DNA sequence: CAGAGTGCTGCAAAAAATGCATCGCTTGGA
DNA sequence: TCCAAGCGATGCATTTTTTGCAGCACTCTG
């Protein structure tokens, strides 16, 4: 009997709300038989529908008169509710359409610390310039936590340098990141095109904490020549790295994606030779097997372009 | 399969909203099979219900995962709507309960002018002292209009003196009202216990307009002795009657229900002999065949008590 | 008074919802 | 690596609900 999936008014037919539509039809026409014509069912079925509803509702909603029916006060209160909820459902449908159209949504990202200062702010700003109703959540996660975040749905996307393992990780994009030495522009090594690791050992070292991918790579490189790195300072804050390098004449380390290449005339960034420190991979991905929300997928595409 | 008419949470089962309850059950338990146990149907039926809804809604509302299901962003928006409309329906039910319990409602009254100055204000104040959420509409209507108001549902109750006809009028109460002469307390006739109509004719007369019941009775009495009343003033405002009588030494007429017996030391009210002017009936009633809203009925009972 | 119009109801037919049994897939533990 | 448990989904028969047909009782109007 329901051959259309859209009402004459253009809204989708929601079967559970047909009774509401029928109540309103009877109210409008003032009679079961007229409303039955308008809704294309028999007066008999319509009458039973109204009666069944009144039974459930626990109260009559119409007065029965010799020449038709009229909403009683209870019915008038109910009609108001009917109209409110119809409007609200239209609102929800509109929001859902926004979701599927990329215009609205919430994207949750787990990322390595290096992505925080420049890369992600820039990409998010770019995306939101086009889709201002998309909101973001960004959580710093280390190489173990990032994957966990995906599994527990705390995050839709992960952007992580040298993750510990990638069992549940579907890789969308990977980009190689060499390890850069970070120092004052006045540093004796500042004008070099590349550095050997052992050249750095002659200066104070500022190292990331052990949970960071860069630290792992540096420790691995030191193990290869039978030594151990002795940091003057160990920190999980890249701002601390930067300040110490700038004012204490030390050397810190960071991957290129964490450096603002254009903005620091008082700082110098020189790559460490790959034969000493092999560099690592920065991965963009999501939970294996999951279908991403549209906005998250589109943002991921934008990030892939930026990483290429 | 639905053997209760109340959910475990104490709300009435509204069959058209069961799908919403099921969606919430799946969300809560994270799996079709667990939710099916909670809602006492098979997983098969529950799964089909969700799928049918998604089909109607035009969008999936759950992500299917290997270990269960989880609301997607569209589903989260819908869940918010579900909770809003459930709350709103509870509000409507509560208001309807108020209606049936006399505590809330709107009572519409058509009445003769005489009821306006003292009687109805007093009765309404009294009722609202007990039920402050009951509201009133009071419309002055002449002997013809009052019954019309009932027929068109403009009014629930009519309180009318000498109505023109009572075809559609169900009488709840009738009370006899003699015609009173209204005059200054300093008037020569002011101390009389009763008056003959012809005694009044020696003074200026202030008469109500022809659509009023009192005027009809006075004209009928004059016709009986072959004369005609010559008013010095004819008006549809009882205040005008009162002022003219007080300051112009004239005589006006009104029924007792329109007079404040206690409050006018400068005014005198004397009944006209019934053999001259027979008096009339004040009727309280409603549309024949109609079941009154509870508040209107209860107010009518109060009015009947006051008229007795 | 008769006909038109109203809501309502018995009962059969049609449509929708449900339960049973099973499938294909993933995951966790031995 | 394999197997059992757990998951959503589906074919098909059964059950439940909804609907339409025919007609009733009542009111109103000309």
Domain assignments of chain A as residue spans, ordered by start: 15-100, 105-176+281-307, 179-278
Coil, helix or strand at residue B101: coil
Summary mean pLDDT of chain A: 83
**Strand C contact set, beta carbon < 7 A:** A 1-2, 15, 26, 31-34, 43-44, 47-48, 50-51, 64, 66-69, 289; B 1, 18, 41-42, 44-45, 48-49, 52, 66-67
A4 has pLDDT over 50: no
Whole-angstrom distance, CA of residue B195 vs CA of residue B94: 57
Domains A105-176+281-307 and A179-278 share a fold: yes
The phi, psi pair for B104, rounded to 5°, reads -140, 145
> Does A77 sit within 8 Å of B99, measured CB to CB?
yes
**Crossing angle of helices B18-29 and B32-39, rounded to 10°:** 130
Judge whether B114 and B254 are in contact, CB under 8 Å: yes
Q: Which chain B residue has the Cα nearest residue A18?
A: B16
Comparison of pLDDT for A178 and B204, the residue scoring more = A178
ipTM at complex level: 0.57
pLDDT at A19: 92
Whole-angstrom distance, CA of residue B224 vs CA of residue B220: 6
Superfamily name with CATH number, domain A179-278:
Periplasmic binding protein-like II (3.40.190.10)
pLDDT at A128: 84
What are the structure tokens assigned to B263, written together? 């409050």
> Does A70 sit within 8 Å of B12, measured CB to CB?
no
pLDDT in tens, B38-54: 888 999 999 999 999 99
Task: For residues A168-194, give the mean pLDDT.
Answer: 88
Task: For residues A277-294, give the mean pLDDT.
Answer: 85
- CA dist B184 to B68, B77, B178, B240, B265, Å? 90, 74, 19, 13, 9
The phi, psi pair for B135, rounded to 5°, reads -110, 160
- C-beta neighbour count of A279 within 10 angstroms: 18
Judge whether A206 and A252 are in contact, CB under 8 Å: yes
Judge whether A258 and A115 are in contact, CB under 8 Å: yes
- C-beta neighbour count of B76 within 10 angstroms: 14
3-state helix, strand, coil in chain B (%, to 5): 45, 20, 35
CATH topology of domain A105-176+281-307: D-Maltodextrin-Binding Protein; domain 2 (3.40.190)
Confidence of residue A2 (pLDDT cuts 50, 70, 90): very low
Residue from B9, B43, B49 nearest B29 by CA: B43
| Protein residue nearest nucleotide C4, by CA to C1' | A67
A5, A77, A100: residue with CB nearest B92:
A77
pLDDT at A160: 92
Residue from A283, A285, A97 nearest B58 by CA: A97
Whole-angstrom distance, CA of residue B156 vs CA of residue B135: 13
pLDDT at A36: 92
A24 has pLDDT over 90: yes
A19, A73, A92: residue with CB nearest B16:
A19
CB-facing half-sphere around the CA of B49: CA atoms within 13 A: 22
Confidence of residue A12 (pLDDT cuts 50, 70, 90): low
pLDDT at B8: 44
| Protein residue nearest nucleotide D15, by CA to C1' | B1
Task: For residues A272-299, give the mean pLDDT.
Answer: 86
A79 has pLDDT over 90: yes
Coil, helix or strand at residue A196: coil
- DSSP assignment of B29-90: HSSHHHHHHHHTS-HHHHHHHHHHHHHHHTS--EEEETTEEEE-HHHHHHHHHHHHHHHHHH
Q: Which chain B residue has the Cα nearest residue A83?
A: B85
What residues contact residue A278 under an 8 Å CB cut-off, 6+ apart?
Answer: A217, A220, A221
Q: Which nucleotides of C are covered by protein (CB under 7 A)?
A: 5-10, 15-21, 25-28
B151 CA, D30 C1': Å apart:
20
Task: For residues A229-236, give the mean pLDDT.
Answer: 78
pLDDT at A241: 73
> Does B100 sit within 8 Å of A12, measured CB to CB?
no
Q: Which residues of chain B have pLDDT under 70?
A: 1-15, 101-103, 248, 261-264
Strands A280-287 and B180-184: unpaired
A240 has pLDDT over 90: no
A87 CA, C17 C1': Å apart:
29
Q: What are the E-state strand segments in A50-129? A: 62-65, 68-71, 105-111
Whole-angstrom distance, CA of residue B111 vs CA of residue B146: 7
Judge whether B97 and B12 are in contact, CB under 8 Å: no
Coil, helix or strand at residue B151: helix
Neighbour-count burial of B139, counting CB atoms closer than 10 A to its CB (0-12 exposed, 13-18 middle, 19+ buried): middle
Whole-angstrom distance, CA of residue A127 vs CA of residue A136: 10
Cα A277 to chain centroid, rounded: 33
**Is the Cβ of A85 closer than 8 Å to some Cβ of chain B?**
yes
Judge whether B50 and B125 are in contact, CB under 8 Å: no
Confidence of residue A6 (pLDDT cuts 50, 70, 90): very low
- Residues of chain B with C-beta less than 8 angstroms from the C-beta of A13: 56
What CATH architecture applies to the domain B15-100? Orthogonal Bundle (1.10)
Q: What is the DSSP code (8-state) at residue B212?
A: S
**Is the Cβ of B247 closer than 8 Å to some Cβ of chain A?**
no
pLDDT in tens, A95-151: 888 777 666 778 889 988 888 878 888 898 888 888 877 888 888 888 888 888 888
B85 CA, D12 C1': Å apart:
37
Whole-angstrom distance, CA of residue A172 vs CA of residue A283: 8
What are the structure tokens assigned to A240, written together? 């601390």
B20 CA, C29 C1': Å apart:
37
pLDDT in tens, B172-220: 899 999 999 988 888 888 888 899 888 888 888 888 878 788 888 888 8
> Does B15 sit within 8 Å of A17, measured CB to CB?
no
A12, A15, A96: residue with CB nearest B77:
A96
Whole-angstrom distance, CA of residue B101 vs CA of residue B9: 23
A75 has pLDDT over 50: yes
Element (H, E) at A14: none
Q: Which nucleotides of D are covered by protein (CB under 7 A)?
A: 6-11, 16-23, 26-28
């Amino acid at each position: 009997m329901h051959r259309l999936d859209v009402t004459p008014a253009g809204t989708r037919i929601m079967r559970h709300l047909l009774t509401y539509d029928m109540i309103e039809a009877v109210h409008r026409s003032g009679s079961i038989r007229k409303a039955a014509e308008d809704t294309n069912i028999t007066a008999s079925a319509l009458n039973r529908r109204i009666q069944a509803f009144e039974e459930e509702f626990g109260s009559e909603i119409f007065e029965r008169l010799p020449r038709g029916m009229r909403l009683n006060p209870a019915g008038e209160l109910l009609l108001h509710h009917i109209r409110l909820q119809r409007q609200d459902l239209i609102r929800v449908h509109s929001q859902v359409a926004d979701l599927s159209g990329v215009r609205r949504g919430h994207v949750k990202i787990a990322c390595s610390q290096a992505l925080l200062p420049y890369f992600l702010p820039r990409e998010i700003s770019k995306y939101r310039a086009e889709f201002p109703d998309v909101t973001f959540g960004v959580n710093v996660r280390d190489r173990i936590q990032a994957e966990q975040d995906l599994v527990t749905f705390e995050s839709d996307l992960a952007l992580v340098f040298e993750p510990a393992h990638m069992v549940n990780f579907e890789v969308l994009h990977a980009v190689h990141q060499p390890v850069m030495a970070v120092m004052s522009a006045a540093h004796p090594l500042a004008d070099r095109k590349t550095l050997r690791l052992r050249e750095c050992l002659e200066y104070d070292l500022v190292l990331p904490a052990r949970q960071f991918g860069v630290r792992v790579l540096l420790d691995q490189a030191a193990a290869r020549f039978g030594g151990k790195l002795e940091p003057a300072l160990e920190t999980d804050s890249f701002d601390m790295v930067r300040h110490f390098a700038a004012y204490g004449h030390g050397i810190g380390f960071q991957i290129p994606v964490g450096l603002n290449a254009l903005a620091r005339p008082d700082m110098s960034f020189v790559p460490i030779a790959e034969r000493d420190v092999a560099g690592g991979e920065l991965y963009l991905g999501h939970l294996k097997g999951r279908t991403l929300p549209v906005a998250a997928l589109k943002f991921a595409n934008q990030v892939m372009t930026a990483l290429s």
